[in-house]
Amino acid sequence: MKDTLTLRVADLETDVLTGIYSEETGKPQPLRITIEARMKPLDRYDPDTPLAESKNYMDLRHAATEAVPEGVHFKLIESFADHICETLFLQDERIEALTVHIIKLAIGIGSEKIGITLHRERP
**pLDDT tens digits, residue range 101-123?**
999 998 888 889 999 999 999 98
Instruction: Please state the domain count of the chain.
Output: 1
**pLDDT tens digits, residue range 24-52?**
778 899 999 999 999 988 888 899 999 88
Contact between 118 and 85 (Cβ < 8 Å): yes
CA distance 84 to 35: 9
Contacts of 75 (CB under 8 A, 6+ apart): 18, 19, 20
95 three-class SS: strand
For residue 28, which of 14, 42, 13 has the smallest C-alpha distance? 14
pLDDT value at residue 44: 87
CA dihedral 34, 93, 6, 66 (to 10 degrees): -30
CATH number of the domain at 16, please. Answer: 3.30.1130.10
Residue 109 belongs to domain spanning: 5-121
